[in-house]
């Protein structure tokens, strides 16, 4: 059996009941086959792939907190410190009832290659909890965040592991966590990113993932003879990534006609009203029904359905495995020319293969949504030098990074005779730097 197949089989056997982790590893290892096979003996002798798929450290802990009725609640929490070959562990914290170890491992594994692609010195990690911030009071969210950080603080630091936001973790949660870290450690350091502007946050970090997604999409379209201007875009999700993807798409002259949340979706043929969407989601923390109620041109539908709308470009920005084979078929039938992933692994492997086989340009999340973590790394730089850069400075660095990522994955795909296969290109380009650093540092 080939080395790649052996390692994949080991991952499935040693990590039962973690389908998302298996999926993420499978996608990466399949892309790496050509690279690994060219150097199989050396990689095998060093157990490079076994080390790559095994986290350096996995932390599991309980988080007890008291709800508004005086009842004690207990959540499971995780921090997976996956790979520190090229820098301190870096990656978000997801707060969602679906969170389990397998989800955090898939996200941490993806993060290794994403962070490598940014060209910045950050290793891969991810964390979170099955706590659901939805419907909780501010005090309950604070109680959870403080209890969570009371344990997590022992394992993180500005030069060791720097968490950030993800689903369910936004500015409010980062603020409470930062306050508790500082209180316990007595150190004012850049231990988290996505901080508020008054206490060490970076301008443009809030916008960065969505903006970066559009910078990369624009470059991919341009290099393939298309122009984003005038295109119709469908977006899923209505959180941090979706909101700023919508905003930047509109600034670049495209029309965004859908957004969604976990209960339903909106089709707004006149184009999404971003100011209203921000009011509903960022200020009121309400459902999309409120958006539809306030906007005569919007139609609200229960359930899922954004991929059924005719579009040129589709940007999944909600969660994993939200774009399935049938959705890919609908997109192709409707003439979609490009899909770029704002979320982490939103497209199943079958859907991805169908899109690629039908000539749809496909930018994988580890490249397309890397603008968030890249700007987090820029926040770390600003914290280290105790200075803050202007919005324009950060935004222009972000744009440069996203354009570079596109060309790194494009060139890697060409070099290995898979021109246009950006999944393979991103995995290979991300892997080579990490493999080189791991090899140079010996067996650790």
Looking at 57-65, 73-81, 90-98, 196-204, which segment touches ligand 2IT (CB under 6 A)?
90-98
CB of 176 to ligand NDP, least distance (A): 16
CB of 321 to ligand NDP, least distance (A): 9
CB of 90 to ligand 2IT, least distance (A): 5
If you search the block for the tokens 């790979």, which residue do you land on? 83
- Asked if 20 interacts with ligand NDP (CB under 6 A), we say no
91: partner contacted, choices ligand 2IT, ligand NDP, none (Cβ within 5-8 A by kind): ligand 2IT
- Asked if 18 interacts with ligand NDP (CB under 6 A), we say no
- Asked if 347 interacts with ligand NDP (CB under 6 A), we say no
217: partner contacted, choices ligand 2IT, ligand NDP, none (Cβ within 5-8 A by kind): none
- Asked if 237 interacts with ligand NDP (CB under 6 A), we say yes
126 is catalytic: yes
Which positions from 385 through 404 interact with ligand 2IT, judged by CB under 6 A? Answer: none
193: partner contacted, choices ligand NDP, ligand 2IT, none (Cβ within 5-8 A by kind): ligand 2IT
- Asked if 372 interacts with ligand NDP (CB under 6 A), we say yes
- Asked if 241 interacts with ligand NDP (CB under 6 A), we say yes
319: partner contacted, choices ligand 2IT, ligand NDP, none (Cβ within 5-8 A by kind): ligand NDP
Closer by beta carbon to ligand NDP, 48 or else 204: 204
- Asked if 92 interacts with ligand 2IT (CB under 6 A), we say yes
CB of 193 to ligand 2IT, least distance (A): 5
Distances (CA, A) of 106 to 102, 112, 183: 6, 10, 32
248: partner contacted, choices ligand NDP, ligand 2IT, none (Cβ within 5-8 A by kind): none
262: partner contacted, choices ligand NDP, ligand 2IT, none (Cβ within 5-8 A by kind): ligand NDP
CB of 125 to ligand 2IT, least distance (A): 8
If you search the block for the tokens 């499971």, which residue do you land on? 76
Which residue in the list 114, 126, 195, 281 is annotated as catalytic?
A: 126
Closer by beta carbon to ligand NDP, 97 or else 253: 97
Question: Applying CB under 6 A, which of residues 7, 8, 18, 90 lies at the interface with ligand 2IT?
Answer: 90
- Asked if 376 interacts with ligand 2IT (CB under 6 A), we say yes
In SS3 terms, the chain reads as CCHHHHHHHHHHHHCCCCHHHHHHHHHHHHHHHHHHHCCHHHHHHCCHHHHHHCCCEEEEEEEEEECCCCCEEEEEEEEEEEECCCCCEEEEEEECCCCCHHHHHHHHHHHHHHHHHCCCCCEEEEEEECCCCCCCCHHHHHHHHHHHHHHHHHHCECCCEEEECECCECHHHHHHHHHHHHHHHCCCCCCCCCCCHHHCCCCCHHHHHHHHHHHHHHHHHHHCCCCCCCCEEEEECCCHHHHHHHHHHHHCCCEEEEEECCCEEEECCCCCCHHHHHHHHHHCCCCHHHHHHHCCCCEEEECCCHHHCCCCEEEECCCCCCECHHHHHHHHHCCCCEEECCCCCCECHHHHHHHHHCCCEEECHHHHCHHHHHHHHHHHHHHHHCCCCCHHHHHHHHHHHHHHHHHHHHHHHHHCCCCCCHHHHHHHHHHHHHHHHHHHCCCC
90: partner contacted, choices ligand NDP, ligand 2IT, none (Cβ within 5-8 A by kind): ligand 2IT
CB 97 within 8 A of CB 76: no
If you search the block for the tokens 């690629």, which residue do you land on? 356
Which positions from 199 through 218 interact with ligand NDP, judged by CB under 6 A? Answer: 209
Neighbours of 431 (CB within 10 A): 24
Interacting residue ranges for ligand 2IT, rule: CB under 6 A: 90-92, 114, 164, 166, 193, 344, 372-373, 376
Task: Give the residue numbers marked as catalytic.
Answer: 126
Residue ranges in contact with ligand NDP by CB under 6 A: 96, 98, 165-168, 209, 237-242, 261-263, 317-319, 342-344, 369, 372
């Amino acid at each position: 059996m080939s080395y790649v197949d052996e390692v994949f089989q080991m991952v499935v056997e040693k990590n039962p009941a973690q389908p998302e982790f298996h999926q993420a590893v499978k996608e990466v290892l399949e892309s790496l086959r050509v690279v690994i096979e060219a150097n199989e003996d050396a990689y095998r002798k060093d157990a490079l792939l076994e080390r790559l798929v095994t986290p350096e450290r996995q932390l599991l802990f309980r988080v007890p907190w008291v709800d508004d009725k005086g009842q004690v609640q207990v959540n499971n929490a995780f921090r997976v410190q996956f790979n520190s070959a090229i820098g301190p562990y870096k990656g978000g914290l997801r707060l969602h009832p679906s969170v389990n170890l397998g989800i955090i491992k898939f996200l941490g594994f993806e993060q290794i290659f994403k962070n490598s692609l940014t060209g910045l010195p950050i290793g891969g990690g991810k964390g979170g909890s099955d706590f659901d911030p939805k419907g909780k009071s501010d005090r309950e969210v604070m109680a959870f965040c403080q209890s969570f950080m009371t344990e997590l603080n022992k394992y993180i630091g500005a030069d060791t592991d720097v968490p950030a936001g993800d689903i369910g973790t936004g500015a409010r949660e980062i603020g409470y966590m930062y306050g508790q870290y500082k209180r316990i450690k007595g150190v004012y350091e850049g231990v988290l990113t996505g901080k508020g502007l008054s206490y060490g946050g970076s301008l443009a970090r809030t916008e960065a993932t969505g903006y970066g997604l559009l910078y990369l999409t624009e470059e991919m379209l341009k290099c393939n003879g298309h122009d984003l201007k005038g295109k119709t875009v469908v977006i899923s999700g209505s959180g941090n990534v979706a909101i700023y993807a919508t905003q930047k798409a509109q600034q670049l002259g495209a029309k965004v006609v859908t957004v969604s949340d976990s209960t339903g979706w909106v089709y707004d043929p006149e184009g999404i009203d971003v100011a209203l969407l921000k009011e509903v989601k960022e200020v009121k923390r309400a459902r999309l029904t409120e958006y539809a109620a306030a906007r005569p041109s919007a139609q609200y539908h229960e359930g899922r359905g954004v991929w059924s709308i005719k579009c040129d470009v589709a940007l999944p920005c909600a969660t994993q495995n939200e774009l399935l084979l049938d959705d890919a078929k609908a997109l192709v039938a409707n003439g979609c020319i490009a899909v770029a992933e704002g979320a982490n692994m939103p497209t199943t492997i079958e859907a991805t293969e169908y899109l690629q086989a039908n000539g749809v340009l496909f930018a994988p999340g580890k490249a397309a949504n890397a603008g968030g973590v890249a700007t987090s790394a820029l926040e770390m730089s600003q914290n280290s030098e105790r200075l803050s850069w202007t919005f324009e400075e950060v935004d222009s660095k972000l744009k440069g990074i996203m354009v570079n990522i596109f060309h790194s994955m494009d060139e890697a795909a060409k070099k290995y005779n898979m021109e246009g296969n950006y999944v393979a290109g991103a995995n290979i380009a991300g892997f080579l730097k990490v493999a080189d650093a791991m090899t140079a540092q010996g067996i650790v």
